[in-house]
Structure 1
Amino acid sequence: MNRIGKKTAYSKLVKHADSLTNLKSFHEDDIKESITVARSYTLLLYGKKQMDTLDELRYIMATMTDKYASMLPQTVDAFQQHVLRAKYQTRIWCRSHIPNQELIEPVGHGWSACDDGGITQTLFTQPSAPVEVRDLTHFYCTDKDCLSARKCPCLLAGLECIDACSCTD
């Protein structure tokens, strides 16, 4: 989450500890409950606890503010994949005292199988935004080569560059 640091995260957690008590069982809860409590915490981090979804927050930030795409919250789909990976890792850490623990398969928990037998992160399973919306949200890039996600918001969002991008000149 861009520009939300550890200090902010900790202070929000302490301030709203009563409403975030389910975080203590994050690794044990079912996926739906884990996503719900993680979403609540994320909305608090962005200062929008009255909203229901990250897509709603993303829309408001994209249309009402002049934020770069990298500063927008994740889509619901990308957030869910992140929560699945965090839940998987937290489960391992919370059971680290158990010798020879039985691990669950990472594939399907925010990870995908590679052709070479390894695994890779599943960043999202749906498009980040419709192509028509990207001009409104500053998704178009200014990177002449579009080689780096740091310089190309389109790549960072998992989208193809459009005519407005400088790389298509």
Structure 2
Amino acid sequence: MAAIWVAFGTGKNFMYLDINAICYALGKDRSTALPMFHSFTGCDTTSAFFGKGKKSVWEAWNAYVEVTEAFNNLMNHPYMTVTVNCKEFQLLERFTVIIYNKKSNLDSVNEARRELFSQKNRTMENIPPTQEALLQHTLRAVYQAGIWATSDHCEQKPPTSEGFGWTLESATKTWRPVCSNLPVASQACSGLIKCGCKSAMCTCGGRCSCKKARWKCT
């Protein structure tokens, strides 16, 4: 194998990195998995998990090495169809839980969200995304990793990014990331607010939860 060196940094921090030595230290499986790991944890075209830099997600990888199988499968099968029920996504979902709580034994990000929010007083910004949001994020990561995985092809023919966590806005002809296909929380949860008026003609006062939300009394 030819020796590969990469010039990195500027000024006093400039250095040459021995890529062969790095790959040898990481091993074949991790070296192959790196592009998918990078796209999943945040790169130029995919978002990172809030407050989770590369150092912390690398530590999560060390704590949950089983996710390497998912990274490699997605690299070996570019643009693979990913669903919430496939093994690769389930491994990535568990990995996401570990990113936010290394001691958790949960497999579901939805359950981890509830636990961290209700029991550990985490803010909304510091809990995992919903499963649906994670799926859309994973699809974007798979698409980007697929481009990298086929970068040695003389003519790349990637599929349309529609359906890979992106959608084309018809009005502006620009691509927009799909954050989630679930209804907006403020709309979905509106049915949970109820004042319980007993009379046909509501005479609720200022304590009425419906009136506080500026909705018709239920």
Per the normalisation by structure 1, the TM-score is 0.69
Does 1:43 find its partner at 2:97?
Answer: yes
Q: Residue 89 of structure 1 is aligned with which of 131, 144, 151?
A: 144
The size of the alignment, in residue pairs, is 134
**SS class of match (1:120):** strand
Aligned-residue CA RMSD (Å): 2.2
Q: Show structure 2 runs of 5+ residues with no match.
A: 1-48, 191-211, 214-218
| CA 62–49 in structure 1, closer or farther in 2 if over 3 Å, else same | closer
Per the normalisation by structure 2, the TM-score is 0.55
* 1:23/1:37 contact within 8 Å kept: no
Give the superposition deviation at 1:110: 0.3
Q: What is the identity, as a one-letter code, of the residue corresponding to 1:50?
A: N
Counterpart CA distance in 2 for 1:39 and 1:65 is 20
Does 1:69 find its partner at 2:127?
Answer: no
Give the superposition deviation at 1:5: 2.1
- Of the two structures, which has the highest relative contact order with CA contacts closer than 8 Å and spacing of 6 or more? 1
Q: Show structure 1 runs of 5+ residues with no match.
A: 133-162, 165-169
Counterpart CA distance in 1 for 2:164 and 2:147 is 13
* 2:136/2:180 contact within 8 Å kept: yes
Q: Residue 121 of structure 1 is aligned with which of 164, 167, 177?
A: 177
Greater gyration radius: 2
The superposition leaves residues 103-135 of structure 1 with CA deviations (integer Å, 9 ceiling, x where unpaired) of: 111001101111132211001110364537xxx
Counterpart CA distance in 2 for 1:91 and 1:82 is 14
Counterpart CA distance in 1 for 2:113 and 2:61 is 22
Counterpart CA distance in 2 for 1:95 and 1:59 is 39
